[in-house]
């Protein structure tokens, strides 16, 4: 295939223990470490591996967000993507808007394959790949744990509720990455330096004639109820009795 488009998002780093603002307005993101959404790293890695195997030509990486989102594009460029596009906006965009903006980029770029992470670990939505496929009327394979090139397209293993299901998809197609797809590389310093020389176009998100206003109103954001610790048990017989009683309780409902 000629071209792969990978969409990446900058999120609060998944190792950060987030804090909910006391006024209920959201999650604290000031002075918090931000990095590429972990699932998106798997998507970038999959694209880079396809290029290394000679199965794909160019990788275009796209992000949507504030100027600082350049950082995650640079990360992808350091991993091996060829050029970047940032659709810049300070607005809080919903997944439907993100999908529409990505569809506009796809129409300009005409990639053979679009790779995305299956969900972003901040809003945990798990929407954008499926929405993009719906907008473009392309086939989709979500929760991918393996991608192989086939004679007339790709073969994708999907992680589903009962185990695994393998699909054949013609191109162009949308694939969303699950964690077991691969092990993303850490870019070595020379690659990080080289990434800065690669083309990175910045365009205002308002350039596409797409309404960026959200459809949902977030009324409040609160922390979940905290669980308080319990008691240490040292005797196996006592533990067995606690479990037996809990099982009886669970069976009664």
Partner 1 sequence: MAVLVLAEHDLGALSPAVARIVAACSALGGPIDVLVAGQNAVAVADQAAMLAGVSRVRTAADIDLTAETLMPLLAALAPDYSHIVAVSGAVGRDVIPRLAAKLDLMPVTDVIAIHGPDRFDRPIHAGNAIETVISNQPRQLLTLRASAFPAPKLAPAGNAPIEAISFTGIAPLAQLLATHRTEGDRPDLATARIVVGGGIALGSAEGFRLIEQLAEKLGAAVGATRAAVDAGYAPNDWQIGQTGKIIAPDLYIAIGISGALQHLAGIQGAKKIIAINTDPAAPLMKLADYRMAGDLFTVVPALIAALG
> Rule CB under 8 A: which of 30-89 touch partner 1?
39
User: According to the binding rule CB under 8 A, does residue 179 interact with partner 1?
Assistant: yes
Residues 97 to 156 in contact with partner 1, rule: CB under 8 A? 99, 118-119, 121-135, 138-143, 145, 155
Residue with tokens 């669970």: 250
CB nearer to partner 1: pick between 51 and 96: 96
User: Shortest Cβ distance from residue 50 to partner 1 (Å)?
Assistant: 19
CB nearer to partner 1: pick between 28 and 71: 28
CA 127, CA 59: separation in Å to the nearest integer?
22
User: According to the binding rule CB under 8 A, does residue 197 interact with partner 1?
Assistant: no
User: According to the binding rule CB under 8 A, does residue 222 interact with partner 1?
Assistant: yes
Q: How many residues does the chain have?
A: 253
CB nearer to partner 1: pick between 202 and 218: 218
Q: Which of 188, 193, 202, 221 binds partner 1 (CB under 8 A)?
A: 221
CB nearer to partner 1: pick between 80 and 172: 172
Q: Which of 163, 189, 190, 209 binds partner 1 (CB under 8 A)?
A: 163
CA 18, CA 26: separation in Å to the nearest integer?
10
Number of residues that bind partner 1 (CB under 8 A): 85
Q: At what angle do helices 128-136 and 95-109 cross, to 10 degrees?
A: 50
For residue 35, the cross-strand partners are 11
Residue 45: in which H helix or E strand, if any?
Answer: helix 38-52
Q: Which of 33, 54, 90, 162 binds partner 1 (CB under 8 A)?
A: 162
User: Shortest Cβ distance from residue 43 to partner 1 (Å)?
Assistant: 14
CB nearer to partner 1: pick between 20 and 104: 20
Closest CA to 186 of 22, 23, 36: 36
CA 50, CA 65: separation in Å to the nearest integer?
27
Q: Considering only 48-56, 59-67, 73-81, 174-182, which stretch makes contact with partner 1 by CB under 8 A?
A: 174-182
Letter string b/e over residues 156-168, b meaning 16 or more CB atoms within 10 A of that residue's CB: bbbbeeeeeeebe
CB nearer to partner 1: pick between 51 and 135: 135
User: According to the binding rule CB under 8 A, does residue 188 interact with partner 1?
Assistant: no
Question: What are the structure tokens assigned to 204, written together?
Answer: 């205002």
Residue with tokens 């002075």: 31
Question: What are the structure tokens assigned to 184, written together?
Answer: 């993303």
User: According to the binding rule CB under 8 A, does residue 213 interact with partner 1?
Assistant: no
Q: How far is CA 123 from the centre of its chain?
A: 10
User: Shortest Cβ distance from residue 87 to partner 1 (Å)?
Assistant: 18
Residue 144: in which H helix or E strand, if any?
Answer: strand 140-150
């Amino acid at each position: 295939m000629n071209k792969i488009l990978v969409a990446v998002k900058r999120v609060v780093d998944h190792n950060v223990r987030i804090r909910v603002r006391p006024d209920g307005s959201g999650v604290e993101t000031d002075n918090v470490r931000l990095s590429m959404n972990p699932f998106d790293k798997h998507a970038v890695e999959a694209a880079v591996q396809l290029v290394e195997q000679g199965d794909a030509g160019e990788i275009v990486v796209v992000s949507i967000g504030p100027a600082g989102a350049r950082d995650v594009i640079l990360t992808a460029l350091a991993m091996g993507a060829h050029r970047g596009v940032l659709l810049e906006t300070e607005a809080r965009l919903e997944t439907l808007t993100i999908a529409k903006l990505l569809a506009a980029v796809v129409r300009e770029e005409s990639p053979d394959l679009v790779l995305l992470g299956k969900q972003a670990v901040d809003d945990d939505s798990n929407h954008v790949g499926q929405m993009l496929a719906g907008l473009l009327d392309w086939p989709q394979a979500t929760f991918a744990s393996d991608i192989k090139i086939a004679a007339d397209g790709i073969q994708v293993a999907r992680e589903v509720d009962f185990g695994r299901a393998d699909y054949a998809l013609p191109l162009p197609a949308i694939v969303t990455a699950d964690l077991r797809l691969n092990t993303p590389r850490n870019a070595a310093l020379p690659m990080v330096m080289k990434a800065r020389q690669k083309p990175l176009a910045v365009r205002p998100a308002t350039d596409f004639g797409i309404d960026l206003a959200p459809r949902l109103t977030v009324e409040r954001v609160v922390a979940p109820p905290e669980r308080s610790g319990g008691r240490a048990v040292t005797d196996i017989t006592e533990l067995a009795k606690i479990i037996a009683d809990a099982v009886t309780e669970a069976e009664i409902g």
